Every structure is written in C-alpha cells, then in structure tokens.
Structure 1
C-alpha cells in the first residue's frame, strides 16, 4: 500500500496520563502516512519508536489544563502549516479517504450530531488545525472560557468571531464526514475516528484487553468507557466486558456507572442487567 505523503502536516498527541497509548496512536497514524513531524508532548520520557519524538512539557493534570494548553501553548511546538491532533482513542484509519481540499480549512473535526449546522464541526480528539488558527488562539486577548472543553471553545464560543474578524475557515459537514467520525457513524470509510466507544470497530479484542490493563485507572472515570462496556454487553463479548468492568469498578460505584449509562440513553433496568452480566464475566 502506498503511504500518504503529507509534507505540510505534523501529527501530534498531548498526553500526560497515558503517554504510551498516545504513542500507539501516533505509531498507527505514522505507519499509514508520511508526516513532516510526529510529536508526543508529555511530561514523562516514554520509550517510543521512530519517527515519533518526545517533547517534554509541564505536567497536564486535568481536562481544564489540557484545554488551556491546546488553546495557548500548542502553537509553540508546531512548525508546519497544519497539525493533525490525535489521541490514544482516535487516529488515522484510511489514508485513501484523505482529500486535498482538507487543507483548504483551518479546522476540521468529526461532527457533533446534537448541534445544528454550521456549528456542529467539531470534535478535537481527531482534528486538523492550521498553525494560523493556533497562533490566533494563543493571543492574550482571546479568552479560554474557564474550564470549557477546548474544541467547544474553538468551534462554538469563538467560531463567529474567528470567522468574521480573521476569516478562519471551519469545514462544513460534507467535508468533516469523510475526514473522521465520532458519534455520527459514517456511510463510507473515513480518514480517521475518535472515541473509546468506537475502538471495538478498529481494534482486536485481545489488544483492547491489553489496553485496558495498561491504562491509568483515572481514565475509566469517563462516560465513554461505560458506553464501551455497554457495547460489549450488546455484542456479548464476554472477555472484553469482564476486563473493562473490572477496571471501571476500581474507582466507581455501581450507581454511578448506571447513571452514566443513563446519560447515554440506556434505561436503568437495562444498565443494571449489563452490570450484572459484566460482573459474571469478570
């Protein structure tokens, strides 16, 4: 298979919680594409393989600190006109889905289907951003909106001003959909994806179980893992559901997990049945 050549794009992950898993996402992506640079920004010194290089940063200890870094500090580490942001649970899938006109935009990310267009693009965990946008965001007069998620700040809170004052271009849905998916399932192969709850589609059961074992226990507080556990329950993947249930329950009470599944639209009685089966599989 011919590798996709992207000489104007750096691929980058920022992770101080699970840096080795972020390195895995970078390795997946760089195995399929020739990027100008492959960077893992973290506070530790994980062992990574070429072409990934580790750049030390101050520790990021919360989602709010992550958002502030992405808004105000990321630009200092990027030397190419664009950067592809990946996370441990979002990376390149299909190089053939790349379109040259992706580079006509300053920001592309998977659509948020619960928002109306045009402010439904998009998720930051797998996103393409221009260096021009990063430098604008880093200006001291551009607000961070407290603890708000950085992708929501960029694509909803700041978007009208960025478009009107600076001509920043956000991709429309018809461009974002072939770029990547998260909550809106695709109808054709996409360049990439994001979301722990989607990883079962792209990762073997054995590899997922190894990932669960390797993750920092704090990772499992996310609602996404409750959703993934429920997906394994629906698929009757007993080994995966048992392994994931074990890690989730290290830090959470049963009622909290049921509540998180409820937030995702799962009725309480079905959520309870899921946990009962997962407990038996553990």
Structure 2
C-alpha cells in the first residue's frame, strides 16, 4: 500500500442537522480526512466546515441521487467514507490499512447469498474509481436504493471493470448493522444502535431526533432506550404522543 492515500468524509442531511453534525465531528476527531463533503440546507449547523448547499431532501430517491451522482461530481480524493446521523466511526483503533485494498466496504446484510452479502451504504467505504464508475453506469431517472444498486444490480459490471468488493470477514470488521457481532468494529449503521452510542447523553439524542423520525421510526429506538435509559424512553414516548395528538 502506498504511504499516502487521500480520504474524504461524506454526509448528506437536511433533516437531523444536530445529529448529523455530531456524526461528522466524531469522525473528524477519530482520524484525518483530506476533504469533507457535507450536503445540507443549513450551513450554520456545521460551523467551521464547508457545506455544499442542497435543497431539502424530501425523498429517499433524492438522497440516493446525491449519494451516487452528486458524490461523483464533487469527490476529489482516492477514497471516501460515507456516514449518516445513525452510522459513523465507533472505534478508530479498529481501522485497518487493508480497507484501502477494496473499492467498496459496507456491513454485511443478513439473508443474502455469498455474492451479494456486502454491503450496507449508510456507513461505507468507497474508492473514487467506484464512485465514478457507478455514476456512469446508473441509468437515468430516480434511484431507489443506492447501496443495493451498487452492490447488487451494478456489481457484475463494476467487478468486470476491476472493482473489488470486500469479503464478508473484512466487512464485518469494518462495520456492524444487523445482527450484532461479538467483537469491536470500526463503525456502525442503524437507528437501533443510537441508544447505545448515546448512552451517556440519551436525552440529547431524543431531543434532537426530527419529528419525521419520531413519527415513523421510534419503534426502532424504544427497546434499547427502555433498557439503557428508562427516563429517556418516557421522554421519547411523550414526543410520540404529542405528535400524534
């Protein structure tokens, strides 16, 4: 491996600004990035960092378009770490230089065959050549699910161009989504992990979830919150009730 490979940090968020900023700051405190690519409608939420002005992301298709086509237009480094408010670096000591050997790494998916088990895009590692190739291969029109597009639909064509997708063992060390693993990982992805990640500040987590997440996905948070921080779980339930009234 060359002594120096340039690396970017990428996030696109116009809904959970405070938690997205926390994800970015956690990553920046964990390791060096040569470039930060933040797509947002609220630059002041990321004070001191460059922000690419972005209209409100109102659909999963709009996010996927940024993650595939928008990232390809702006990425200038050799690799990029894609993060979200519910997926970022957990333990920088688990970073491995072997990650540079692969064009795509993401947490394994359960129930997939051996050729399609990697990987989740919410916290993922991508090479610039893969980002550019995926954008070029993506047909015009809306993109339903960007990680499925790259790791399943486009994978044969990308591999034919020499792209390397990490094997399951590497992907499992890189990140955890579901199911849990009995060893530390570099990062994670999944709303259901947030109570554990924010175990020292559960009220901060609950207070900065958007109304959209509260209304549609609070069930993913409640089991862990009830176990780790019962008072915060009640706080979350109260928000759910107020929004339902």
- Scaled by the length of structure 1, the TM-score of the pair is 0.79
- The whole-number CA distance in structure 2 between the counterparts of 1:35 and 1:213 is 29
- The whole-number CA distance in structure 2 between the counterparts of 1:24 and 1:162 is 33
The number of aligned residues is 243
Residue number in structure 2 paired with 1:86: 83
Change (3 A) 1:86 1:236: closer
The residue correspondences of 1:195-234 to structure 2 (distance < 5 A) are 195-205=190-200, 207-223=201-217, 225-233=218-226
Larger Rg: 1
> Which structure has more RCO (C-alpha within 8 Å, separation ≥ 6)?
2
The residue correspondences of 1:122-137 to structure 2 (distance < 5 A) are 122-137=119-134
Change (3 A) 1:244 1:117: farther
- The whole-number CA distance in structure 2 between the counterparts of 1:201 and 1:131 is 32
The residue correspondences of 1:119-268 to structure 2 (distance < 5 A) are 119-139=116-136, 141-143=137-139, 146=142, 148-164=144-160, 166-205=161-200, 207-223=201-217, 225-233=218-226, 235=227, 237-251=229-243
Match of 1:27 among 3, 25, 28: 25
- The whole-number CA distance in structure 1 between the counterparts of 2:243 and 2:162 is 45
Q: Describe the superposition over 1:93-115 as per-residue Cα deviations: whole angstroms up to 9, x where unpaired.
A: 11111111101111101111122
Question: Structure 2, unaligned stretches of length 5 or more?
Answer: none
SS of equivalent to 1:183: coil
Change (3 A) 1:6 1:13: farther
- The whole-number CA distance in structure 1 between the counterparts of 2:24 and 2:103 is 21
CA-atom RMSD in angstroms: 2.2
Change (3 A) 1:7 1:31: farther
Match of 1:11 among 2, 9, 16: 9
Change (3 A) 1:44 1:232: closer
- Scaled by the length of structure 2, the TM-score of the pair is 0.90
- The whole-number CA distance in structure 1 between the counterparts of 2:167 and 2:141 is 24
Change (3 A) 1:162 1:144: farther
- The whole-number CA distance in structure 2 between the counterparts of 1:6 and 1:19 is 32
